Amino acid sequence: MHTRVLSTLAGVALTLAVMPAQADWRSYVNRELGFSFMAPGEIKAAVGTFRGAIAGPRQTIIYRSVEDNIEYKVTVTNFVQAAAEGATILGERQYMFQDGKKVLLDTFARVESGKDTVYGRKLVVDLPDNKGRATGVFYFTKGRLIALEATVLPTHGNFASPDPSRFVDSIAFALSRTESGAVEIKTPALE
Amino acid sequence: MRVTALATLVGAALATTTGPALAVWHGYISHPLGFAFAAPGELKVEKGTYRGAVAGTRDTLVYRFVDDNIEYKAVVIDLTDNANDAATLLGEAEYNFQDGKKLLMDTFGRLDRQYGRKLTIDLANNGGRTTAGFYFINGRIVSLQATVLPANGDYESPEMARFVDSITFFTVRAPDDAIELPVPPK
C-alpha cells in the first residue's frame, strides 16, 4: 500500500517536473487607447513599423510577450485621420496576414454587444517553411487598427494549443469589462 | 451528309427556341455615388430599409433587375454621418447578411484599392442562393447581390459572380455607353 502511494507521488512529481511551467495569465489595460486583454509572460512595449499599399508606412505600438514558445503580440496602429477608410485599411491588414500562407480559419469576430459591437475577423494560418501557426484577430475602432496575434513556434509543437485563442479572444473595448487588478500599460511615444 | 447537316440545323433551332432568352447586359454608372456595374434586364429604382444594431435604421437605395429568375440588386446604404466607424459598419452588414443562413463562401473581395468581402449563402426555406459583394466607400456601403430564385434552379449559375464582380469604383473603367443611374425617388 505504502509502496503504491509512494510510486504515485513520485509519478506526479516527475510529471510536474517535466511539464512546462504554466505561466500566470494577467489582464492588461491601456485606458488611453481604449482596450484590455489577457496574456501570459512578461509584456514588453515597443515601437514598430507597418507598411501597406493602402495604409502606407506607419509606426506601430507593440505589446509583446513570449511564453512556452508561443509569441503573443498586440499591435496598435493609429489611423485617426483616415478612420473613414477603416474598412479597407482593416481588409488590407487581414489580407496581408494570410497572403501566401495556408489559411485554416477565416471567420467573423465581434466583441461587445448592441450598438457598441465592434466587428472584425479572426484568422488562423500556417506559416511557410514549418515556422509555426499564427492566430490573429483584427479590429478597427476609434481610428485605430488593433491586431492580436499569437504564434505557436515549432519548438512548442502543439499547434492545437488553446492558448492562442484564449489570448486573441480576450480583447475587450468596453473598459467596464476590464478585470479588477488589471495591469495598466503605458503607450510608448512614437518618433 | 445532307441528312446530318439538316439534323444539326434542326437541333440548333430547337435548342434556341427552348432555352431561356439571353438578355443583353448593360453597363450602368453613378457618377455621384462613384461606382459602375453591369446587369441584364430592366432597371427599377427602389427604396428600402436596412437595420443594424450599430448602424441603426437606414434608408437604402436599390437598383434592381430581374432576368431569367435571377434577381440582381445594387444596394447603397448611406452612412456618411458615421463613416468613421466604417470597418464595424461594413462588418455588421456582412454578418447580418449571412446570419442564420447556410454560408457557402466567405472570402476577400478586393478591387480598385478597396477591400471588402464576397459571400454566398443559401436562403432559408429553399428560397434560393445569393452571392454578394460588400464594400464601404465614400461613407456608403455598396453591396451587389444576385439571387438565383428556385424557379431558375441553377444554383451554380455563373451570372451571380458575373454581376457581383462587375463592380468598379474607378468610373473610368465603365464602358463608354454605360447608362447613368437615376437619382433615388423622393
**Distance between CA B80 and CA B78 in Å, rounded?**
6
DSSP-derived pairing of the beta strands B35-40 and A133-141: unpaired
Measured between beta carbons, which residues in chain B are less than 8 angstroms from residue A139? 87-88
**Closest C-alpha to B85, from A173, A182, A16:** A173
Q: Inter-chain contact B115–A88, Cβ cutoff 8 Å? A: yes
Please state the three-class secondary structure of chain B as a single string: CHHHHHHHHHHHHHHHHHCCCCCCEEEEEECCCCEEEEEECCCEEEEEEEEECCCEEEEEEEEEEEECCEEEEEEEEECHHHHHHHHHHHHHHHHHHHCCCEEEEEEEEEECCEEEEEEEEECHHHCCEEEEEEEEECCEEEEEEEEECCCCCCCCCCHHHHHHCCCECCHHHCCCCCEECCCCCC
HSE (CB half, 13 Å, CA atoms) of A100?
4
Residues of A in contact with B113 (CB under 8 A): 53-54, 88
Q: Could you tell me how many residues make up chain A?
A: 191
Angle between helices A86-98 and B86-98 (to 10 degrees): 70
Question: Nearest by CB to B86, which of A87, A108, A115?
Answer: A87
What is the greatest pairwise CA distance in chain A? 73
The pLDDT of residue B111 is 94
Which three cell numbers mark A156?
A: 512548442
Asked if B121 and B100 touch (Cβ cutoff 8 Å), the reply is no
- Residue A160 C-alpha cell reads as 492545437
Nearest to B133 by CA among B158, B165, B105, B103: B165
CB contact under 8 A, B115 and A87: yes
Q: Measured between alpha carbons, how far is B180 from B170 in angstroms, rounded to an integer?
A: 15
CA B111 – CA A37 distance, rounded (Å): 34
Lowest mean pLDDT among A114-118, B43-47, B182-186: B182-186
User: Using the beta-carbon criterion (under 8 Å), do B114 and A88 form an inter-chain contact?
Assistant: yes
How much is the pLDDT for B15?
A: 46
Question: What are B17-27's pLDDT values in tens digits?
Answer: 445 556 899 99
Task: Give per-residue pLDDT as tens, A53-67.
Answer: 999 999 999 999 999
Q: Which three cell numbers mark A71?
A: 509569441
Q: Do A92 and B136 touch (CB under 8 A)?
A: no
Chain A residues touching B86 at Cβ < 8 A: 83-88, 140
Return the residue of B nearest to A80 by Cα. Answer: B84
Task: Give the residue among A67, A112, A75 at the shortest CA–CA distance from A187.
Answer: A75
Q: How close, in Å, is residue B95 to chain A by CA atoms?
A: 7
Position B184 scores a pLDDT of: 64
Q: Which residues of A touch B87 (CB under 8 A)?
A: 86-87, 89-90, 119-120, 139-141
Is B110 in the A-facing interface, judged by CB distances under 8 Å?
yes
CB proximity B136 to A under 8 Å: yes
**Taking CB atoms and an 8 Å limit, are A83 and B84 in contact across chains?**
yes
Candidates B106, B108, B136; nearest CB to A87 = B136
Nearest-10 Cα torsion for A89, A92, A93, A97: 170
pLDDT in tens, A93-149: 999 999 999 999 999 999 999 999 999 999 999 999 999 999 999 999 999 999 999
Question: How many CA atoms lie within 13 Å of B160's alpha carbon, on the beta-carbon side?
Answer: 24
Average pLDDT, chain A: 91
CA-based radius of gyration for chain B: 19
Q: Half-sphere exposure of residue A155, counting CA atoms within 13 Å on the CB side?
A: 7
Whether the predicted pLDDT of B5 surpasses 90 = no
pLDDT one-digit tens code per residue, B65-91 = 999 999 999 999 999 999 999 999 999
Q: What is the ipTM of this complex?
A: 0.86
Task: Give the chain B residue whose CA is nearest to the CA of A115.
Answer: B54
A88·B91 Cβ contact <8 A: no
> Which pLDDT band, with edges at 50, 70 and 90, does A190 fall under?
confident
Q: Which residues of B touch A121 (CB under 8 A)?
A: 91
> Can you give the pLDDT at residue A49?
96
Q: Do B115 and A91 touch (CB under 8 A)?
A: yes
Q: Which residues of B touch A114 (CB under 8 A)?
A: 53
pLDDT, tens digit (0-9, with 9 covering 90-100), for B90-131: 999 999 999 999 999 999 999 999 999 999 999 999 999 999
Most A CBs within 10 Å: which of B82, B88, B114, B121, as the mutation test of the A interface? B88
Amino acid B16: pLDDT:
46
Q: What pTM does this model have?
A: 0.88
